[in-house]
Amino acid sequence: MNVSENFDPRRGRWIPWVFVGLMGLVVVVNGVMVILALSTFTGITTPRPYDRGRTYNDVLEEAARQEALGWQPQVEFVGRELRVRVRDAAGAPVQGRLGGVLQRPLARDALPLEFRPAGLGVWVAEITPPLPGQWEARLILHGREGALEIRQRIMAP
């Protein structure tokens, strides 16, 4: 029996096309992943992160200054209101002007908050978040002794 008698040249022609098809699939999947990576959240939560990183000692000094104030903020949803209460180290209410935004942790959209005083050391802003779940209150309280940056994650109903 001769080997050349059983050889059929058309029998294995599809094998190279399987490799070409698999490589094409890899290219398409990688292309989709690149498009998704470029069109979704960048991971940057601070403007100009390189500059902020270079001046990180200033960030640490500001954090130490705020900690030295001893102010203790409490942020919570009560019904359709965002309620903020701030006490000093002795437990006395802190007076001042409060402003800020409410935003999703991974989104760029921010809902501006307009606070009105609701007693000593208490401010209230009426807000109805469009989606339930986790939100981040980014607030700044300007008081007599200085300013306090408040960043607190809260759950919206």
State how many domains the chain has: 2
Same-domain status, 34 and 79: no
pLDDT range class, residue 55, cuts 50, 70, 90: confident
Token pair for 53: 């990183």
Residue pair 129/77 in contact (Cβ under 8 Å)? The answer is: no
Any domain includes 49: no
Same-domain status, 35 and 91: no
Any domain includes 79: yes
- Give residue 86's Cα distance to chain centre: 24
Q: Which domain holds residue 126?
A: 69-156
- Examine the pLDDT at 124 and tell me if it is beyond 70: yes
Question: What pLDDT does 144 receive?
Answer: 84
pLDDT, one tens digit per residue, over 3-51 is: 566 767 777 788 899 999 999 999 999 999 999 988 887 777 777 888 8
Same-domain status, 11 and 86: no
Rounded Cα distance between 141 and 69, Å, is 12
Same-domain status, 81 and 17: no
Same-domain status, 20 and 77: no
pLDDT, one tens digit per residue, over 64-109 is: 888 888 889 999 988 888 999 999 888 889 899 999 999 988 777 7
> Where residue 151 sits, what CATH number does that domain have?
2.60.40.3340
Q: What is the pTM of this model?
A: 0.64
- Tell me the backbone φ, ψ of residue 41, rounded to 5 degrees: -55, 130
Residue pair 115/123 in contact (Cβ under 8 Å)? The answer is: yes
Same-domain status, 130 and 90: yes
